Amino acid sequence: MIVTVPEAKAHLRIESDEENTFIESLIAQAQAVAEDYCRVIFTEPAPEPVRLAILLMVAHYYENRDTPERQIYVTLRMAFENLLYPYRDMTKMF
């Protein structure tokens, strides 16, 4: 994974270790979504905008796990896609 659990916890402002496994699963899911959108497998070191997009998606998954709202997701998705757009492999689209 290109984002570590300690990085995600710092981004989420979480100090305890109780949710480490859950946060790790959120990172894996967010990275999978980024890779699917870009049609690229990201390796370390990933570009900073890619890392930020993954952190944004992790935060969204964490903060909205109980009450997902469409408008919040749409706004986040726009930022996510804007950060990732330059890294898309257009030869693998469609």
What sections of the chain are H helices per DSSP? 5-12, 20-38, 48-63, 70-84
Question: In Å, what is the CA distance from 69 to each residue of 29, 61, 63, 65, 76?
Answer: 19, 11, 11, 10, 11
What pTM does this model have?
0.90
Residue 68 has pLDDT above 80, yes or no: no
How sure is the predictor about 66, in pLDDT bands with cuts at 50, 70 and 90? confident
More confident residue, 94 or 71: 71
Please state the rounded mean pLDDT for residues 47-67: 93
Q: What percent of the chain has pLDDT over 70?
A: 99
What's the confidence (pLDDT) of residue 90?
Answer: 86
